[in-house]
Chain A
Amino acid sequence: MSIYPKIRLWLNDRYDVATVEQFVDSQIHKPLPKETGFWHTFGSLSLFLFVNQIVTGVLLMIYYRPTTNTAFESVRYIMTKAHFGWLIRGLHAWGATLMILCVLIHMARTFFMGAYKKPRELTWVLGVAIFGCTVTFGFTGYLLPWNQLSYWATTVGTEITGAIPWAGQYLKTLLRGGEGVSGETLARFYVLHVVILPWALTGLIATHLFLMRVQGLATMVRFGEEKPIEKGHGVPFFPHHVLKEGVIFCLLIGALVTLIVLLPVELGEKADPFVTPEGIKPEWYFLSTYQLLKYFPKTIGLFVSLIPQVLLLLWPFIDRSPERNPHRRLWALGIGVVALVAALVFGLLGYISETTITWRGEKYELDVYAKPHKVCPAENGNAH
């Protein structure tokens, strides 16, 4: 205990320790508006999960080898030989899923509470970029285990870029590092996943947090009528809000560990470019886009699927009314709810497409559009 003053003295001889201390102190104890509730914790949860991804990602890199001959085997090594490898990989894989979920909830919270409005438009735009980065993380990371599912999902996923007019084929080749998905693709995705995206996302998150800290959290007050928090009226970030976040963290970690143990991430079968497995589907966060693309011709589908993303990015500049309370922004509320429902419906359709379900004792085969076709047992018997 008595060592800190000595270190402080040593540092103080060299740096302006008092200013740093004052800054750190003001940041730690920064008062938050009284309205700050549980919904506000999803931002920090996303940040926590990002840190989790970095730590577990670095640990996975110790054993992972990104070549077609060794990628699958090294993941197998992590799963079967390395102590707690299953846990580290589970934390990384399920952490990614939960991170995307948290980012989505955080975005929805911001949207419905009108927190993206003036003066926080740029924070929103950065947030959309963070979301894009996170999803790209998911897409590139999915290929790395080099199993059948990841190989073919990547083949289908990168195929979509080919539909872009003029530049499509070049983009596809650039992305894949050749004609098809190969060792070159693996190397490219690996570099994106472990070098480029982490630094990009770190920069984006830092700026996003900086803006948030500078401007403070939005309240439900119309813009222009916001007042600085009076002394003693806010909720201190530490320890009050952090404790609230602590409660949610506990639940999140519980959920993470439960998912890892009850729904373990599979190793799968090694990628085989000559055998296409049936019913290739992307990860859940791409399902709605994947399903939407099916209903349109290639190029048109691509543009249609881009509309929600462009809308999302430009939303603060489209909806410029000063009102934040959702009850007084029925238009925005409606659009938000419709978009969420549409994403859910398309995602669900994508999930059940190309499967067989039994409903009220009848078997139905669902085609790519998730349209049910009754399977008649007698007819089936004749066909074979």
Chain B
Amino acid sequence: MNAQQPVSRQKFLDVLIGVGLAAWAAAFVAPVLTYVWPSQRRGPGTQTASAGKVNEFVEWQTKVVAVGSHPVIVVRTPQGFRAYSAICTHLGCIVGWDVVRHQIACPCHAGYFDINGRPVAGPPPRPLAEYGIAVVKGEVLVKST
């Protein structure tokens, strides 16, 4: 018994070190694997966002979606989808949709933009920047161009 004790203690130490090293390796590999796994469908190169399914939109229905940190207004026209920066070119308010006039309207100073993003009434000095739209498998994707 007495002669065996140092041997078992030695074994115990070896096992501990082995388990420790294995844990260490796992703690290294786990974050690396999750890092490599894509965190979103597209990488950092293009900024794309989904505006939902095509059938969620009826004609002239709009939706404001975020592309990166930028709000974008998506409109379904009879000719197809259009997307514009939702930041008014006047003072930077977020624009909405005027159901009656069928125009993009700014709530702050009553600026109006037509369906081509051009300012038609009120103070906005410049047109709204247009965003690209792609309909992929029934999903409306907005991308910055």
* Chain A contacts to B: CB under 8 angstroms: 59, 62-63, 65, 70, 73-74, 76-78, 81-85, 87-88
CB distance from A379 to the nearest CB of B (A): 41
Most A CB contacts (10 A, CB to CB) among B31, B34, B35, B40 go to B35
Cβ contact within 8 Å between A85 and B35? yes
Question: Bound complex: CA of A187 vs CA of B107, how far in Å?
Answer: 45
CA distance A81 to B44 in the complex (A): 9
Cβ of B136 within 8 Å of any chain A Cβ, yes or no, is no
**Closest residue on chain A to residue B47 by CB atoms:** A73
Contact, CB under 8 Å: A77 / B43: yes
Nearest to B36 among chain A residues (CB) is A62
Cβ-defined contact, B35 with A81, below 8 A: no
Q: How far is the CA of A73 from the CA of B40 in the complex (A)?
A: 15
Residues of A within 8 A of B44 (CB): 63, 65, 70, 73-74, 76-78, 81
Size category, B interface = 10 to 19
* A59-B40 contact given A70-B45, A84-B31, CB 8 Å threshold: no
Q: Tell me, rounded to whole Å, the shortest Cβ–Cβ distance linking B10 to chain A.
A: 12
A333 vs B125: C-alpha distance when bound (angstroms): 72
Smallest CB gap from B68: residue in A: A73
Q: Are A84 and B43 in contact (CB under 8 A)?
A: no
Q: List 10 A-B contacts (CB under 8 A).
A: A62-B36, A65-B44, A65-B45, A76-B44, A77-B43, A78-B44, A81-B40, A85-B35, A88-B31, A88-B32
Our pick among A63, A65, A81, A83 for the contact of B31 (Cβ within 8 Å) is A83
Which B residues lie within 8 Å of A78 (CB)? 44
**A59-B32, A65-B45, A70-B45 known; A83 vs B40 contact (CB < 8 Å):** no
Cβ-defined contact, A82 with B32, below 8 A: no
Chain A: minimal CB distance from B37 (Å): 7
Contacts of B35 in A (CB 8 A): 59, 62, 82-85, 87-88
A47 to B134, alpha carbons, bound, how many Å? 50
Taking A65-B45, A83-B31 as given, write out 8 further A-B residue pairs in contact, using a Cβ cutoff of 8 Å, ordered by the A residue number. Answer: A59-B32, A62-B36, A81-B39, A81-B44, A83-B35, A83-B37, A88-B31, A88-B35
Q: Which residues of A contact B40 (CB under 8 A)?
A: 81
Tell me which of A65, A74, A83 contacts B34 (CB under 8 A).
A83
